[in-house]
Structure 1
């Protein structure tokens, strides 16, 4: 599970982004390059564009970012009708919750640090990057696994975290992973609908695992 894939991005490795990491002109350039076929949430446009710049394969993919009141802090899926299209021609929706349960409100997007926001966005974009390699049949398998095969979901989410690291946003993912466990006072995080107990399975990489992968990853040795 800790094998490092060849999927790497040429973007510079940055340990911590903040609101002032990019000038208005630089953000405008990012939007010109990576904002095509995207519907943004105005308050989060900067974070989204920074994250998109690490996923060049999504440059022309239709992605809608939207806010809703949802228990799950973030979720990504293709629209139903676009499921029947070629993967690169689908429309994908990333839903950001602006209100959850009292317990989970501490980790919804608006309550995360700027750097952690980029980290969790990188996980969602890594899902879309993966979906580009899956036809209709394989997408149905993912949907079936969500209902009936938690072990398969564990493997998928873990590999999605690895993809985020491979794209160059490992430090951001680490900050998000740490924030979640500290804010929720949990040793493990299996998702918003799996809160009954701290199971041993590592559905999402724990901070120690992320740090270990980064320490061995060639992309991060330049840092």
Structure 2
């Protein structure tokens, strides 16, 4: 399968590094769709240690966390708050200066948006897509958790570079797929594309696989690219065909 063309050597090396760093052992195998109110709380209890989660989204967050065993003991607060971006993940300020194992993180879920973006607020997403976008944010936290203090501080300045910021967003999608939440990410991307009426939405994978300028991209993979990566990733290949 061909995921793209005209790969420059820099993009090729960057992609190889991402792939090699994000293939991790999983706690669960991929599931095509999770249904609301079907979670066995005892099964997921171990993943809720050191987590502060609003009660109305405990199921979605716990399900996503179960695909990230490396975050089992990491302190993470999930909060609803008015924000300019629908979702954001970051280490708390003071914990950036602590050892990796002593850090804490916060995932902010926006409660407000401009009228045309209201359909993609978290509570307006389909249930399976909610799990997908939480998996995407957890992918960001795994990246932070692997950095030392100087790397974290350097990352803040690097994010001012558009190309680097697009790379980070692409990596979140790739980590989510590699951890087994590709179908949920696909549902989220598909829903956003439809809700925002973006039939020609390209997705940031083009940033890595073509020579088009980065300013032409959306900050996430489009559904077709997600589907391509799912098909190319071993953990999805043993699932029964429909």
TM-score normalised according to structure 2 size: 0.82
Alpha-carbon offset, residue 202 of structure 1: 5.3
Tell me the residue number matched to 2:209.
none
| d(CA) in 2 for partners of 1:74, 1:129 | 16
- Partner of 2:26 in structure 1? 9
Residue aligned with 1:54, SS: coil
Residues 49-108 of structure 1 show CA distances to partners (whole Å, capped at 9, x for unaligned) of 011010010000000011101121111111111010112311100011122111211101
Q: Note if contact 2:44-2:62 (Cα within 8 Å) is conserved in structure 1.
A: yes
Counterpart position of 2:110: 97
Comparing 6-15 and 68-77, the one that deviates more: 6-15
Please show how residues 1-223 of structure 1 align to structure 2 within 5 Å.
Answer: 1=15, 4-5=19-20, 6-22=23-39, 26-31=40-45, 33-147=46-160, 149-186=161-198, 187-188=201-202, 199-201=215-217, 203-223=219-239
8 A contact 1:74–1:94 mirrored in 2: yes
Task: Give structure 1 regions of 4+ aligned residues with deviation exceeding 4 angstroms.
Answer: none
* 8 A contact 2:27–2:66 mirrored in 1: no
Q: Shift of residue 10 of structure 1?
A: 4.1
Whether the 8 Å contact between 1:71 and 1:104 is mirrored in structure 2 is no
Q: CA deviation at 1:220?
A: 0.2
In the TM superposition, residue 20 of structure 1 has moved relative to its aligned partner by: 3.5
What is the count of residue pairs matched by the alignment?
211
**C-alpha contact (below 8 Å) 1:4/1:217 kept by paired residues:** no
- Provide the rounded CA distance (Å) in 2 between the counterparts of 1:188 and 1:182: 13
Determine the C-alpha separation between the residues in 2 that align with 1:200 and 1:209.
16
Aligned to 2:9: none
Partner residue in 2 for 1:195 = none
> Which stretch has the larger CA shift, 99-108 or 58-67?
99-108
Q: CA deviation at 1:189?
A: 6.0
Please give the alpha-carbon distance, in whole angstroms, between the structure 1 residues aligned to 2:96 and 2:122. 27
In structure 1, C-alpha distance between the alignment counterparts of 2:149 and 2:188, rounded to whole Å:
31
